[in-house]
Amino acid sequence: MIWEKHVECMDQEQLSKLQSQRLKELVTYVYENNPIYKERLDSSGVTPDTINDISDITKLPFTTKMDMRDSYPYGLFSKPQKEIAEIHVSSGTTGNPTLVGYTRKDVALWSNVMARALCCAGGEPGDIIQIAYGYGLFTGGLGFHYGALEMGLTVIPTSSGQTARQLKIMQDFQPRILACTPSYALYMAEAAKEAGLDPRESSWEIGIFGAEPWSESMRNEIEDSLGLIATDVYGLSEIIGPGVSQECTYKDGLHIFSDVFYPEIIDPETGEQVEPGEDGELVITTLTKEGIPLLRYRTRDIVSVNYEKCECGRTSPRVSKIKGRTDDMIVVRGINVFPSQIEHVLVGMEGIGPHYQIVIDREKHSLDKVDILVELDEKRFSDEIKQLHGLETKIKKEIESILSIGVTVKLVEPKTIERSMGKAKRVVDKRNA
């Protein structure tokens, strides 16, 4: 089922017209209602009259997370507080938290895109959904809740945690849809097994998993262990929360609802748009929001976009799973490298510990040298040199095929790579030392 066929399957020309008209309205709106944006547009030499077509979007300045923090709490709001219906706040591990406000119309928009997402994943009105995302300041739980009400599902708002109870509710009420983070889905499968249940016999047929990046191998693991179709949902509170894009049952990219969230893919270094299909940073403009509309918001997520029509009938572009974050991008010999790319290779390999470190060095008059230190897992240790060498070679080849640059892989003893309580230090860049 397609929730809003007339927009989700709109032909390209019509869609482009709608986007153009909405962009013009948006720029006029923020110009008139938000002093920060007015000043920014003025200093970029842009007035609402400059914008006539969606392609004019490149004339607009970017908005970053830093802008949201700097204007904390209400600076980027385009509506006075009394018109704000709901507020959500992100965790804010570094500096000010990010605060977002929704007008009633924004909440309706959120409900609508989430209803589209739930249908996209294969949900049907009348299905029961167990929402095991956290409710509260985090946007996950309520976003799903609004969408489920909008499309006519029966909601069980379990929120996250209390796993034994989650499983009991599943057994007793037989929900067809499970919504939670992918790691919690796996945790529930484990917990079910420990409780003597067969998780494959769960009532869940559809899983909608997001709020953290997850790989294809994790998808297989979840589908095998829970006996359901696992789909990916994407969103960020700055844009709206969950419901920015969602995989359909063909599981070939996440449909971004581009009549309301206009996507661009840019080179994170230059800010220029890249060719369709190429990797780059996802930039989103909220075409119809009122509370905090954002112009060209840099998500920092690295993805590629497929503009071809999907087999499901939707014409909306499909965004790949997140391939990395610009926050941890390193440039080696002119090529963008993300630690997450290397991590994907290692995680997929049996007997390799999750601990690794990338050391980049440049000797005088020579190219950058990339050493990847990988902790050897005891189970993979063989006293035959050729086996260990084979392992190094295998890791090296897989990483090289993904990064397209030469690397050296060194096996190191377990627990020799520095551990950190917070974010692991994955990259040691000696080039600037």
Partner 1 sequence: MKIKQISVFLENRKGRLFDACSILGQNGVNIRACTIAETETFGVLRIVVDKAEQAVEVLKDNGFVANITSVVVAEVADEPGGLAKILKTLSDNDVNIEYMYGFVEKFTDKALMVFRFEDTDRAQKILQQNGIKIINQEEVEGL
Task: Count how many Cα atoms sit within 13 Å of the Cα of residue 77 in the half-sphere of its side chain.
Answer: 20
Nearer to partner 1, 217 or 408 (CB): 408
Nearer to partner 1, 95 or 351 (CB): 351
Question: Nearest approach, Cβ of 330 to partner 1 (angstroms)?
Answer: 22
Torsion sign, CA atoms 132, 134, 135, 138: negative
For residue 292, the one-letter residue type is I
Q: Which stretch binds partner 1 (CB under 8 A): 111-119, 124-132, 332-340, 374-382?
A: 374-382
Q: Binding to partner 1 by residue 383, rule CB under 8 A?
A: yes
Stated as kind and residue range, the H or E segment containing 116 is helix 104-120
Strand bridging mode 241-247 / 254-256: antiparallel
Strand bridging mode 280-286 / 261-266: antiparallel
Cis peptide before 73 (omega within 30 of 0): yes
Torsion angles phi and psi, residue 293, rounded to 5:
-70, 145
Contact assessment for residue 33 and residue 103, using Cβ atoms and an 8 Å cutoff: no
Nearer to partner 1, 363 or 413 (CB): 413
Q: Which stretch binds partner 1 (CB under 8 A): 2-10, 73-81, 327-335, 379-387?
A: 379-387
- Residues with Cβ within 8 Å of 59's Cβ and at least 6 positions away in sequence, in order, are 44, 46, 50, 51
Question: Nearest approach, Cβ of 306 to partner 1 (angstroms)?
Answer: 40
Nearer to partner 1, 230 or 370 (CB): 370
Bridge partners, 233 (sequence order): 210, 246
Lookup: tokens for 314:
């939707």
Question: Nearest approach, Cβ of 370 to partner 1 (angstroms)?
Answer: 14
Question: Nearest approach, Cβ of 415 to partner 1 (angstroms)?
Answer: 6
Q: What angle do CA 277, 282, 285 make, to 5 degrees?
A: 120
Distance, CA of 364 to chain centre: 40
Q: What angle do CA 342, 256, 94 make, to 5 degrees?
A: 55
Question: Nearest approach, Cβ of 390 to partner 1 (angstroms)?
Answer: 12
Nearer to partner 1, 137 or 388 (CB): 388
Helix (H, G, I), strand (E, B) or coil at 188: helix
Q: Which stretch binds partner 1 (CB under 8 A): 23-31, 112-120, 179-187, 375-383?
A: 375-383
Residues 385-414: x where in contact with partner 1 by CB under 8 A, - otherwise, as a string: x--xx--x---------------x-xxxxx
Q: Binding to partner 1 by residue 350, rule CB under 8 A?
A: no
Question: Nearest approach, Cβ of 31 to partner 1 (angstroms)?
Answer: 60
Nearer to partner 1, 321 or 394 (CB): 394
Contact assessment for residue 242 and residue 233, using Cβ atoms and an 8 Å cutoff: yes
d(CA 283, CA 289): 16
Closest CA to 22 of 287, 279, 303: 287
Nearer to partner 1, 225 or 357 (CB): 357
Among 2, 221, 381, 405, binds partner 1 (CB under 8 A): 381
Nearer to partner 1, 59 or 380 (CB): 380
d(CA 278, CA 268): 12
Q: Binding to partner 1 by residue 125, rule CB under 8 A?
A: no
Site for partner 1 in 154-213 (CB under 8 A): none
Closest CA to 56 of 68, 44, 38, 66: 44
d(CA 313, CA 295): 29
Residues 46-65: x where in contact with partner 1 by CB under 8 A, - otherwise, as a string: --------------------
Nearer to partner 1, 89 or 412 (CB): 412
> How many residues bind partner 1, per CB under 8 A?
17
Residue with tokens 């959500």: 88
Q: Which stretch binds partner 1 (CB under 8 A): 65-73, 140-148, 183-191, 377-385?
A: 377-385
Among 272, 378, 422, 433, binds partner 1 (CB under 8 A): 378
Nearer to partner 1, 197 or 412 (CB): 412
Question: Nearest approach, Cβ of 383 to partner 1 (angstroms)?
Answer: 3
**What are the residues binding partner 1 (CB under 8 A)?**
376, 378, 381, 383-385, 388-389, 392, 408, 410-416
